[in-house]
A and B are shown apart, each in its own frame.
Chain A
Amino acid sequence: MQLSHSPHEDGIWGVAWGRGGRLVTGSVDNAVKIWNTDGGLEPVHTFHGHELGVISVATDLTGRYAVSSSLDSRIKIWNMDDKTHVKTIEGEPVEVWTVACDPHGPHVATGTHAGNVHVYNSESGERVQVLETKGKFIMSLAYSQQGNYLASGAENGAIHVFDTTTGRLVSTLSGHAMSVRSLSFSPDGRFLVSASDDKRVHMYDVHHGSQIAALAGHASWVLSVAWSPAGGSTSNVGAGAVDHIASGSSDKRVKVWDIRAKQCLHTLDHHQDQVWGVAYNEAGTRLATVADDKSLRVFSCQ
């Protein structure tokens, strides 16, 4: 089953789920939009304020707040219940990219062109931590659901994993030699999947720092990846549960994979342009995808 809408006036670069079936999208048209997905796909509200295109959106653990980052180097926090703007964090010019929310604290992290991760307190707007990779432009970030790990992917393929409590570098994951555009942890935080311009999706064992799989199939850059919260946990191998991941690519396709069997299960052809965002809802029952074709699509997963 599929719902679709072409709400924004320009490409859509970011999508994230909120609480209670709410969706957030961020577009090149500078707007952040909120949607309801219970019984159809309905626009609820539009937040204006960014001066340039919205690079990414994220939601906090409560699902009440949406966070957006923009080419205008600002991070904005929005209250989706009250439909108000809560805060604007001013980043350094060109040093704000994708944004991620700490599941276990009032923190918002963003990657920088200089190769650092800047962590801000979302209540005070102050920068509280700088994690250095001494590497290149950080294009992607992901927190593990447990909140203990923060992973960053860079434009030269390097992936760094930090311990959020100590700020120390835990692992450096190699394998990609081209931009890592998106990262997603497994629900138990043990594994990480990455999407890269080398057309591959990689899977890594975080603790051991080793690469476990390289999935081929996309014909062009892989721009987004998400690990489904549903399915078996890794301690249930053999219990018959399947772990799904979804990926979106410049080849305009969305692929759904069985990550254990390392096989592509479905290829979805609905988008007309590069697919920048894929996101599963909390239960893993729905998959939202967004693309440069200005459309948002929601699929139900069985």
Chain B
Amino acid sequence: MLPVPTNHDAPIDVLTAIEALVERMIRDAARGIPPSTAGAGHASPALTFRPLDQHEHNKSLAVFLRVADLVHANLAAPTPRVMTKRDVYYQDPALFGTQRVSDAAIELLASTLGVPRDALGVVAAPRGQAHGPCLARFTASMGSETSVVSFANGSHVPPGRRVTRLELDPAHVVAATGMRPAFAPGPAAPRAIPVAIALALRVPRFILIVEKDASFTALAHRGFAARHAGLLITASGFPDLATRQFLADLARVGAHSQHVPVYVVADADPHGLHIALTYMTGRRVDGSRCVVEVGDVNVGKVVHVAVHLRDVELERTVRMTRADRVRAVTLVRALHGMGLGEMQARQFRTSLQAMLHMNAKAEIQALDVDQLERYLETRLGLV
């Protein structure tokens, strides 16, 4: 049986389309006509490959056909599976040379057929990771296979699967080690779910997105998520599409249905604030101050809880660069188009202008891990 493409908007049958395209290209080549991608779809300008010479090896044509072959073979298999872009590359590294080459061919095939890459059964491996005493139930993007993933020991976001349920796993919750001195109280943030309720309802107390890998790892190692029954997520900077999808699904099953608050921790610099804004608004500012939607993967209500420049000792701050300053001014000017509430917009405006005036910025690591924990415990109302 031919599997149904995942993108139900695409009216075409991907397998048939690939077969037709490749057949035509080979027929043309046999007649001495340069094979081209024209006529197969309408989504991209046609690419014509160099005329074949009996003595010449046309690499780009070979790459394109090989990718078409791999995609077709997978989709035609009895149980097609989702492949990551890396998986595709490793099927024939000698031919492809670098992953960029196979990536480009995949994109070309997708745009030629007029379908999103996912419809080819190829996904980017999400860069996101999650850590915390939680179980997540997934269904496969292709087919109906379900799986349960525990994040207790940390795990990459599984590629090609969608979260359908998020649950606290009390077996991995560790007792908190008692009261610690509070950190500077800052702008009010909605409190995390109280411990007793979280345990009773089996939901995590919070979902915390950490902009930086290093800080995510540090908090994970110290058992922050286990002690406070929450879930840490990182996307390593600006989140890729697959991780944003994961977060959006997580927000839907966690935040929206179970009222688990979602927070983001970012560097106290223009880039970090931009990332926080992207999570909060589902919009991004491009270089010319234009605000663009980042697709239908809005995470929904996310609270920017840290790090605020004013909470960092001045000695631990560093000077802004020219690029930082340009970025900060661009962001301030674009704020009104981001769809923020008035108070939030004001807070960001104040933060960005303070950075510009003080000529200072700070990374999350300007707080040592102990300070960061106390900072989060205070802001999230965890103790």
Contacts and interface: CB of A to CB of B under 8 A. Distances in A.
A94 B333 CA distance: 13
A interface bracket (residues with beta carbon within 8 Å of B)? 20 to 34
A139 B333 CA distance: 22
B82 to A, nearest CB: 46
B322 A94 contact: yes
Interface string B295-339: 000000000000000000010000100100110010011000000
Contacts of B353: 28, 52-53, 71
A55 interface: yes
Contacts of B209: none
Question: Which of B325, B333, B357 has its CB near the most chain A CB atoms (within 10 A)?
Answer: B357
A179 interface: yes
Contacts of A276: 357
B357 A13 contact: yes
B110 interface: no
Contact of A179 (B319, B329, B356): B319
A71 B314 contact: no
B182 to A, nearest CB: 20
Contacts of A179: 319, 359
A113 B322 contact: yes
A233 interface: no
B interface bracket (residues with beta carbon within 8 Å of A)? 10 to 19
A93 B326 contact: yes
A148 B356 CA distance: 31
Contacts of B326: 93-94
A8 B329 CA distance: 21
Nearest to A139: B359
Nearest to B323: A94
Contacts of A194: none
A140 B357 CA distance: 12
A137 B325 CA distance: 11
Interface in A221-245: 221
Interface of B: 314, 319, 322, 325-326, 329, 332-333, 350, 353-354, 356-357, 359
20 contacts: A10-B350, A28-B350, A28-B354, A51-B333, A52-B329, A52-B353, A53-B357, A71-B332, A71-B357, A72-B329, A73-B329, A94-B326, A94-B329, A113-B322, A137-B359, A155-B359, A197-B314, A220-B314, A221-B314, A276-B357
